[in-house]
Structure 1
Amino acid sequence: MTDTQDPNYDSELDEALANAEAGLDSGPADDLGPLDAMIAERDQWKDRAMRAAAEADNVKRRTETQMNDARAFAIQRFAKDLLGVADNLERALMAAPKDADAGEAGLVTGLELTQKSLLQAFETNGLKRVAPGPGEAFDPHLHQAMMEQPSAEVPGGSILVTMQAGYELFGRTVRPAMVVVAAKGSGPQGGNPYGAAPGANGGAFDGKA
């Protein structure tokens, strides 16, 4: 440095360097502005596309449900009309003599085949027969309790006898099965559905069994 150098030279140089550094720091950020905008716009369109796809799936599911419901309701009235035919066939078979002669036996066989064909046609078209057996659990969606009776064979609350078969169409109950339900406290050994109580009849209970 010479004696004639401007004394403000150092301060001006420092200021110039500071301005240059500030320009370098701000320059890249300003240059990334359009890129950030493009990324934001891409994410926005991606979100819209995902929402549109989800809505399309929902519309497809609703359409399928509506079509299934329309198909079920279209044949529901016809199915109800046919239930009377199935009931009459079942009553005829129940009333048929067990020791029928050759002619009557042929009639009974014909009724059985007719009933079998009718039930197969029902199942093919989504109409399922509901006839629970003794001891099955009572389902209020499928069964209608007509009365309660005590029983020594099935536990209380379960089905004792099916008085009339029910039917469901594509999972919808067309007619509930009319049943007799075992009264509370029913079951073997005074309501114990698992048999004799431990130690009954003089037997010793083996806790190691």
Structure 2
Amino acid sequence: MSDENAAQGETPENEIPVADTPEVDPVEALRAENSELRDRVLRTIAEMENLRKRTERDVADTRSYAIAGFARDMLSATDALSRALLVIPNEVRETAEGTLKSLIEGIELAERETQRLLAKHGVKQIEAAGQKFDPHKHQAMFEVPNPNVPEGTVVQVVQEGFAIGDRVLRPAMVGVAKGGAAQPAPAPEGDGVDKSA
């Protein structure tokens, strides 16, 4: 029966008549596709450039900070050498002879060499004495009443702090001034009265 309907020009019941669709200009379609592909390529290039920069930054960070754990451990050894030297009185150092003199010189040499090697690999001592207290670089151990310096100034260093690059390996343990004159605030301009109201 559908053959008869088709022969007579009628549409069968289950078929939908196809509307005339306007033909798309092939040149415009190619231009649109070209524009889309160009956009994709530019985005991919930008992503690859960002990835390259991020990778370079990660490699530089790894080079700089890979030894941080080892350096932190070496600081403990350096501290032990420093404490060993502090225990020896100056009179004994000056009058030491023979084996004792060699031992003292050996400890001094080992301490200097450890400090030199740490510095060679980017480990720097954090300046603390006389600086304004910085909680990112200093660890306050106690407060010292001192009216001669501004409050919050480091007046005593108990243990030196060290950093590698911009990262703190160990904060400096410090004593901080308390009760000194506060930093002077800038004087207001004019007579200090707000006349804008």
1:160·1:180 contact (CA, 8 Å) conserved in 2? yes
CA distance in 2, matches of 1:84, 1:93: 14
Distance 2:39 2:146 in 1: 64
Amino acid at match of 1:146: M
Query: Does the CA-based 8 Å contact 2:65-2:164 persist in structure 1?
Result: no
SS of the residue corresponding to residue 116 of structure 1 reads: helix
**Alignment match, 1:91:** 83
Q: Secondary structure at the match of 1:167?
A: strand
- The alignment's C-alpha RMSD in Å is 3.2
Q: Deviations over 1:107-137 (max 9, x none)?
A: 655544432221121122232222412x202
Cα pair distance change 1:43/1:105, threshold 3 Å: farther
* Deviation, structure 1 residue 74: 4.7
- Residue type of the alignment partner of 1:101: T
CA pair 131-93 structure 1, distance change in 2 beyond 3 A: farther
Q: Which residue of 2 aligns with 1:159?
A: 154
Q: How many residues end up aligned between the 2 structures?
A: 156
Residues 131, 164 of structure 1: 8 Å contact kept: no
Q: Return the match for 2:117 from 116, 121, 124.
A: 121
Q: Which amino acid letter does the alignment assign opposite residue 171 of structure 2?
A: P
1:136 aligns with 2:131: yes
Instruction: Please say if residues 131 and 162 of structure 1, whose CA atoms lie closer than 8 Å, have aligned partners that are also in contact.
Output: no
Q: Secondary structure at the match of 1:146?
A: strand
CA–CA distance in structure 2, aligned partners of residues 173 and 132 of structure 1: 13
Higher-RCO chain (CA-CA 8 Å, sequence separation at least 6): 2
Shift of 1:141: 1.2
Between stretches 140-149 and 166-175, larger displacement belongs to 166-175
Question: Which secondary structure does the structure 1 equivalent of 2:67 belong to?
Answer: helix
TM-score, scaled to structure 2: 0.62
Counterparts of 2:42 and 2:110 in 1: how far apart (Å)?
55
Where does residue 95 of structure 2 map in the other structure?
101
Query: Which segments of 5 or more consecutive residues in structure 1 lack a partner in the other structure?
Result: 1-31, 195-209
Per-residue CA deviation, residues 130-168 of structure 1 (Å, 9 max, x unaligned), is 2412x2021211111111111244211111111011222
CA–CA separation in structure 2 for the residues paired with 1:53 and 1:170: 32
Q: Which residue of 1 aligns with 2:170?
A: 175
Taking only the aligned residue pairs, the percentage that are identical comes to: 37
1:168 partner SS: strand
1:139 & 1:39 partners in 2: Cα distance? 61
Does the aligned pair in 2 maintain the 1:154–1:193 contact within 8 Å? no
Aligned residue identity for 2:137? L
TM-score normalised by length of structure 1:
0.59
Partner residue of 2:70? 78
- Is the 8 Å Cα contact of residues 151 and 182 (structure 2) preserved in structure 1? no
Aligned to 2:40: 48
Which residue type is aligned with residue 51 of structure 2?
A: V
Given that 1:126 and 1:170 are in contact with CA atoms closer than 8 Å, whether structure 2 keeps it comes out as: yes
